[in-house]
Structure 1
Amino acid sequence: MNSQVEDIRVDFVTGSRKIGNFCWASILLSGALGFSTVGFSSYSQKDLIPFLSAEQILFIPQGLVMFFYGIAGSFISLYLWFTIWWNVGSGYNRFDKRKGIFSLFRWGFPGKNRRILIQFYIEDIQAIRMEVQEGFFSRRVLYIKMKSQQNIPLSRIEEYSTLEEMETKAAELARFSKLSIEGI
């Protein structure tokens, strides 16, 4: 999604609030609860899961390991849920031709540096760069190539589903900011 006025263009970037993250966090949480329940069931020798007898699993070593996996999975799931809650990685890319400034804003983790705002002069930008790697783990990323510094990513790795979509986005940015396109 983007918004464009005559001299200002704002491209919004989605963060961690994606369907895939919700699914992974839910799967991890349910698996972690299952492992913890099996571990606790083997410790207490009570059948907490109807189809699994507590006597079949010894607490040491199987029950203890299952309980450990449950705790580890719970922490990973909690991390994902907090990342989704705080919407880490969301923000916008703003091109302002009037002021001649490109602004990159992202939300980070809570703390002193939660708001990440980086600004550059548009005249310091050399080109819009596209990086494409096809294959099983395909990668399609748009970058801003700076004259004197490293490339700055404008999009996530999985943002563009097709090459045509990525080329269209790069062409729009290049046309608006009067820059060339590199890559492909």
Structure 2
Amino acid sequence: MDLEQKIRGSRKPSNIVIGVLLLLGGTGFVLASTSSYLGRDLLPLSHPSTLLFIPQGLIMGLYGAAALLLGIYLWALISIDFGSGLNKFDKNTGLITITRRGIFRNISIDIPIKDVTAVKLEVKEGLNPRRKISLRIKGRKDLPISRAGSPQPLIELEKEGAELAKFLEVNLEG
């Protein structure tokens, strides 16, 4: 008998939209900077060739390069689906296997089920809300197992935590 939870990584619609906007905006700024340097309009809808290269064109080029680099980095994370993984709770083998996809290698942690003392829910509201599920393990720090990103609704968090605590036959804290 086992329980599996799929964890969503960086391949989210919001990241894809931000990646597209960064690449488009960065390209526009670099083209505007190049237009001001060459004195020819490379953008069809505006006239950036009228800008002075120093300081306006130069600063636009730096902003464009920064946006392009950030966009490329974000698309690299999206392409490998950084942070995605699986939480597998297997009563037959007595192991909990937690895997996550990293940048250069995948991370995998195996923990004996008997070492889990409780399932802990942490809810923090305010400007930077945090809602996460952790496993309380004997002799170790709490191990977060919930997905990263935008906080999930409280009812879903409680339901998921209660289901996990019932499956592992431990207490639910928090």
- The TM-score with structure 1 as length reference comes to 0.89
**Whose RCO is larger (CA < 8 A, sep 6+)?**
2
Question: What residue is the counterpart of 1:120 in the other structure?
Answer: 111
| Equivalent residue, structure 1, for 2:53 | 59
Q: What residue in structure 1 maps to residue 34 of structure 2?
A: 40
- Aligned residue identity for 1:29: L
Aligned to 2:20: 26
Cα distance in structure 2, aligned partners of 1:72 and 1:160: 29
- Tell whether 2:67 aligns with 1:73: yes
| Counterpart AA for 1:60 | I
- Secondary structure of the structure 1 residue equivalent to 2:46: coil
**C-alpha offsets along residues 6-55 of structure 1, whole Å, 9 cap, x if unaligned?**
x2111111111111110111111111011111111111111222443335
Aligned position for 1:96: 90
Q: What SS does the aligned partner of 1:164 have?
A: helix
Whole-angstrom CA distance in 1 between matches of 2:109 and 2:16: 29
Q: In 2, are the aligned partners of 1:130 and 1:182 still within 8 Å (CA)? A: yes
Q: Partner of 1:173 in structure 2?
A: 164
1:164 Cα deviation after fit: 0.7
Other-structure match for 1:152 = 143
Q: Distance in 1 between matches of 2:148 and 2:99?
A: 17
- Unpaired stretches in structure 1, ≥5 consecutive residues: 1-6
Q: Which runs of 5+ in 2 are unaligned?
A: none
Judge which range, 150-159 or 84-93, deviates more: 150-159
Change over 3 Å in CA distance of 1:53–1:122 after alignment to 2: same
- Letter of the 1:69 counterpart: Y
How far the C-alpha of 1:175 sits from its partner, in A, is 0.5
Q: Alignment partner of 2:36: what SS?
A: helix
Match of residue 4 from structure 1: none
Query: What TM-score does the superposition give when structure 2 sets the normalisation length?
Result: 0.94
Deviation at 1:161, TM superposition (A): 2.9
Name the SS for the 1:16 alignment partner: coil
